[in-house]
Chains A and B, each alone.
Chain A
Amino acid sequence: MKDKGSYQERLKKMKRSIEKNKGLLESEFPEDVTRSGSPDLIRKQDNEIDSDTGEDSDEKQDRSKKS
């Protein structure tokens, strides 16, 4: 598995990412929207996740596209 760096390094990366992306706070998101995403993704049962790899369906979809 790829080395993700020490916690301190990742903390610095987090702070940089906030600084780099803070402009999005001034964006205009549609104000009539009350939900994004799907409750079904939260309710998904264990049998929808591959017990061998722990992958979700969309991750398996990605792998099958690449092969």
Chain B
Amino acid sequence: MLATHMDAERRYSAYRSEVFKHVKETLTYSDSHLITLADINQRALAQARLWATIPGREVDFNWERDCQLYRKRYPKRFELAIWYQNRLESLALGRPSYNGSRVRLELVERIAGHSYLKGRVFLITELSLIAYASLLGAEEIRIMEPINESVKNYYVSRGYTYVPSKGAKYFPDYCVKKL
């Protein structure tokens, strides 16, 4: 790995740590002391490996294998693992645009079946994304491919604008909000 790439990895990992620290301090749930926000480390990937065995998991994605290239390619990425005590509850990935003016959330998955946090992981992820985008000086965030109408309606009710897809595979729909 080039020295410049390693430097970017370190710098943006530090930025994410700053975001996670401040978002965690903001949580006021009664069980907030049991929630941890962190980068996607080996421990998270090891637990995510077990997600494939959970009945009802609908996502065809191997976190350990399928995001390696993405994480190597984008040192400025947004990534987030949310833990409840020692249990991995969700993983998320996103990245700034080429010119840094916006940050996109590309995938977030929470553990299927029993979850201590359920919808809250998406809320915490959203706040963390907003904070990260602000720290990077971005002007806009995009939630890519909201999975269904109720998710789309949630974001629209929170002031996002829905932009439909043109139909081609890599012209996805998304919800967008100015910061």
Contacts and interface: CB of A to CB of B under 8 A. Distances in A.
Nearest to B152: A36
Interface of A: 1-2, 4-5, 10-11, 13-19, 21-22, 24-25, 27-31, 33-44, 46, 48, 53-59, 61
A50 B146 CA distance: 24
A14 B22 contact: yes
A41 B70 CA distance: 9
Contacts of B111: 34
Interface in B57-83: 57-61, 66-67, 70, 73
Nearest to A41: B106
A28 B109 CA distance: 17
Nearest to A38: B145
Among all A-B residue pairs, the 4 with the closest Cβ atoms: A4-B137, A29-B119, A37-B107, A57-B170
A38 B172 contact: yes
Interface residues on chain B, size class: 35 or more
B127 A34 contact: no
Nearest to A45: B69
Interface of B: 18-19, 22-23, 26-29, 57-61, 66-67, 70, 73, 93, 97-101, 105-112, 118-120, 122-124, 126-127, 130-137, 142-148, 150-151, 154, 158, 166, 168-172, 174, 179
Nearest to B23: A18
Nearest to B126: A24
A2 B143 CA distance: 23
Contact of A25 (B27, B67, B136): B27
A40 B23 CA distance: 28
